[in-house]
Every structure is written in structure tokens, then in C-alpha cells.
């Protein structure tokens, strides 16, 4: 097979969609090297993928940002046809316009429909643009990959797509989280960010749906002395968090870290007391897997994809109930037996998302086309 990927996010995006794109590319290159992989990207250079994966790249001749955007949305179809690939996989919710006129097998991964489920989080113009792109991709694709059963249900509900057109293929996480960070490296990383062992950890962009404020409220309400560490890019929501922290004199207990590298993140996971992820909506929830892989107990939401991914291997809480969240935190902080049991269950649960299993699922899906 000759397989093409939309690699824009793999080359440019450091989180969510970028992580997924890079994981798919790495998994298939490493586990199925007998196939040929071609990447379609507006740019040819990236520091986010190792050199061995950066091969067979097709990019536009245009140098301007507008030219690159036009190419990816409208002109890329011509390059896809000329490349004579068997399958084109849009890894981040999109397929180029005009691709329906080609004979290539067309796949799109839909990660989430947050802009439709929680529309108040998005400007109207963004919602209209996303709706046009996502709907077009779902309509012209031969098959749709949903990253969870929850996302599959949303696709059917909002776009009227038939059930048998959608395949649920779970994600995995970077293998870097399986390797224990050395004592020396751990000391350097924790010292760099002013951290001590045994903190409560949350990883993800600081935005409303990630629900960081209810974590902070839970810690305050139950007077939990353990520090809380948030790792992720700040948005306007950060001001709301800081206002609450300042009002309740919690500055010395709450830490915000940004620009943490992928190489540093495993150490930060491995040295936390527990990982908490009470998101209001996710298409999947890769940080849950990163925590399982890192061997730490997990608390997450009892709704949507986080509940689906975590299963019985995490304490599930009502994400809108800060007291419920606080009780879950205290139960782990106060019981080493519970913490150890959750770690054991998380390790077992991760087998569903093991990289070899996921890569096999993807390649069998491609072969079926």
C-alpha cells in the first residue's frame, strides 16, 4: 500500500491533534515499514518528529501563509492524485475540497465535535467554518475514524452519518511515558520548575472545558495541603483561576507550568501523588493514558470519553461537583492501598491502548479498504 497523510498538525502542533498525528505516523513507520508513507504538509521542517520519519513530503510551492492555506484546502487534491497513493488519511478533522473527484480511498479522523456540543466556547465565525469543514469531510470520506464511541455518537447525531461508515479506533500515547526517568534527570526537571514530589497533577490547555477551577475549589474546600500543578498553555480562563487563587490565599500551593517539553513531561507525571482530569468534554483524553503509562492513580470525569477511556481503572467524578472531586482527591491522598490498586488497574487498562494493538487496528482498517 501507498498511504498519504495530512501532516500539517504533526509538523506544527505541539499538543492534541499534533500528538495524534505524530503517533499514527510513528506507529506505522515503526511497525509496518513494508508500506510507503507520504506526508502532505504546508511546511517541510519540524522539530517535533525525528528525522527518520520526515521522508516523502509533498508541500506547496507557495511561500506565503495564505498560499499554504489555499493549497491545503483546495489545491492539495491535485498533488494527491499525482502521487498515485492508494489511501489518503486526513488526521485532523479535514479532507481537502475536490478530493471526492479522485479515486483514492478517503479517510478522515474526527476527534471531537466540541464546537457543536459546547458552542458557547467558540466564536460564531469559527463554528461556521468548523461545521463546513467537518461536515464536508464526513460526507466525502469513504470511511470515518472516530477516536471514541462517544465521538461516534456525536458524529451520527450532528451530521446524520450512517453507523457503518464510522470505525472507532482508539489512540495510544507516546512510548516516552513508559520509560522511568533517572533520579538525576528527575531532580533537574523538578528543580527547574520549583516542584517537590507528591503533588496533584493536571495536564492540558487551561481553558473552560478542562475544568481546572473545580479542582482548585475542591482543594480549598477540603483544605487539602498537597500542592497542585497545572501543565498547559494559558488562555483567558487563566485570569479566572488566578482571581480565585488570590481571593483564597492559595498562591503558594498552586503552580502553573507552560512550555514543558515532551522530554520533561514523563518526570512530572511519574513524581505526582495523583493525576486528575475532570474535563467537561473530550474527544478522547490522551493524558489519561499518559498517567496510566506513568504508573500513577487517576481521577477523571464520569461522563463522555474520559469515562469511556478510563473505565474502572480510575475514580470517576461528577466534573461539575467540586465537593465530589475533593472527596476523590482525599480518598487517594489518605489511602496508599487505594492508590496502589488504581495504579495496578491503570496498568492493566492500558493494554487496550498499547501501541502495537493500536497500530494493528489501523493497518487492518486500511487493508479492509
CATH number at residue 255: 3.40.50.2000
What pTM was computed for the model?
0.90
* Radius of gyration of the chain, Cα coordinates, nearest whole angstrom: 21
Domain carrying residue 364 = 2-172+354-368
Residue 270: closest CA among 173, 176, 181, 172: 181
Residues 23 and 41 in one domain: yes
Residues 189 and 310 in one domain: yes
Residues 254 and 297 in one domain: yes
Residue 54 CA to residue 33 CA, distance in Å, equals 14
Residue 176 CA to residue 273 CA, distance in Å, equals 20
Residues 189 and 234 in one domain: yes
Reduced to 3 states (helix: H, G, I; strand: E, B; else coil), residue 48 is coil
* Count of the separate structural domains present in the chain: 2
CB 338 within 8 A of CB 297: yes
Residues 134 and 188 in one domain: no
Residues 42 and 137 in one domain: yes
Residues 185 and 213 in one domain: yes
pLDDT, one tens digit per residue, over 128-156 is 999 999 999 999 999 999 999 999 999 99
Bridge partners for 40 per DSSP:
6, 58
What pLDDT does 66 receive? 83
Q: Which three cell numbers stand for residue 288?
A: 489519561
Residues 237 and 97 in one domain: no
Residues 86 and 112 in one domain: yes
Residue 100 CA to residue 305 CA, distance in Å, equals 31
How many helices (H) and strands (E) the chain has is answered by 16, 13
Phi, psi (degrees; rounded to nearest 5) at 159 = -115, -5
Residues 346 and 364 in one domain: no
Bridge partners for 200 per DSSP:
228, 274
Residues 29 and 54 in one domain: yes
Q: Which pLDDT tens digits describe the chain residue by residue (369 residues)?
A: 999 999 999 998 887 888 899 999 999 999 999 999 999 999 888 888 888 888 889 998 877 888 888 898 888 999 999 999 999 999 999 999 999 989 999 999 999 999 999 999 899 999 999 999 999 999 999 999 999 999 999 999 999 999 999 999 999 998 899 999 999 999 999 999 999 989 999 999 999 999 999 999 999 999 999 999 999 999 999 999 999 999 999 999 999 999 898 899 999 999 999 999 999 999 999 999 999 999 999 999 999 999 999 999 999 999 999 999 999 999 999 999 999 999 999 999 999 999 999 999 999 999 999
Bridge partners for 144 per DSSP:
108, 166
Residues 286 and 321 in one domain: yes
Amino acid at each position: 500500500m501507498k498511504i498519504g497523510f495530512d501532516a500539517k498538525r504533526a509538523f506544527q502542533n505541539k499538543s492534541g491533534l499534533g500528538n495524534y498525528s505524530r503517533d499514527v505516523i510513528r506507529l506505522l513507520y515503526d511497525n509496518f515499514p513494508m508500506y510507503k508513507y507520504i506526508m502532505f504538509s504546508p511546511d517541510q521542517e519540524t522539530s517535533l518528529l525525528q528525522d527518520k520519519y520526515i521522508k516523502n513530503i509533498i508541500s506547496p510551492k507557495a511561500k506565503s501563509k495564505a498560499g499554504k492555506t489555499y493549497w491545503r484546502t483546495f489545491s492539495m487534491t491535485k498533488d494527491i492524485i499525482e502521487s498515485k497513493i492508494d489511501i489518503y488519511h486526513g488526521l485532523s478533522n479535514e479532507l481537502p475540497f475536490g478530493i471526492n473527484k479522485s479515486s483514492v480511498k478517503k479517510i478522515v479522523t474526527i476527534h471531537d465535535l466540541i464546537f457543536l456540543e459546547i458552542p458557547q466556547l467558540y466564536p460564531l465565525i469559527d463554528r461556521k467554518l468548523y461545521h463546513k469543514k467537518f461536515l464536508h469531510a464526513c460526507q466525502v470520506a469513504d470511511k470515518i475514524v472516530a477516536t471514541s464511541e462517544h465521538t461516534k455518537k456525536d458524529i451520527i447525531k450532528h451530521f446524520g452519518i450512517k453507523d457503518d461508515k464510522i470505525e472507532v479506533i482508539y489512540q495510544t500515547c507516546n512510548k516516552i511515558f513508559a520509560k522511568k526517568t533517572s533520579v538525576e534527570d528527575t531532580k533537574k526537571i523538578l528543580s527547574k520548575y520549583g516542584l517537590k514530589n507528591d503533588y496533584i497533577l493536571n495536564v492540558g490547555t487551561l481553558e473552560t472545558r478542562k475544568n481546572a477551577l473545580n479542582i482548585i475549589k475542591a482543594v480549598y474546600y477540603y483544605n487539602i495541603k498537597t500542592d497542585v500543578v497545572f501543565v498547559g498553555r494559558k488562555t483567558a480562563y487563566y485570569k479566572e483561576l488566578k482571581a480565585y487563587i488570590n481571593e483564597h490565599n492559595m498562591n503558594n500551593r498552586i503552580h502553573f507550568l507552560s512550555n514543558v517539553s515532551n522530554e520533561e513531561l514523563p518526570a512530572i507525571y511519574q513524581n505526582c501523588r495523583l493525576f486528575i482530569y475532570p474535563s467537561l468534554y473530550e474527544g478522547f483524553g490522551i493524558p489519561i493514558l499518559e498517567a496510566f503509562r506513568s504508573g500513577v492513580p487517576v481521577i477523571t470525569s464520569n461522563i463522555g470519553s474520559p469515562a469511556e477511556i478510563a473505565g474502572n481503572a480510575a475514580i470517576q467524578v461528577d466534573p461539575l461537583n467540586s465537593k465530589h472531586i475533593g472527596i476523590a482527591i482525599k480518598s487517594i491522598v489518605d489511602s496508599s492501598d487505594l492508590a496502589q490498586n488504581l495504579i495496578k488497574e491503570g496498568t492493566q487498562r492500558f493494554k487496550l491502548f498499547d501501541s502495537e494493538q493500536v497500530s494493528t487496528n489501523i493497518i487492518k482498517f486500511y487493508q479492509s479498504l
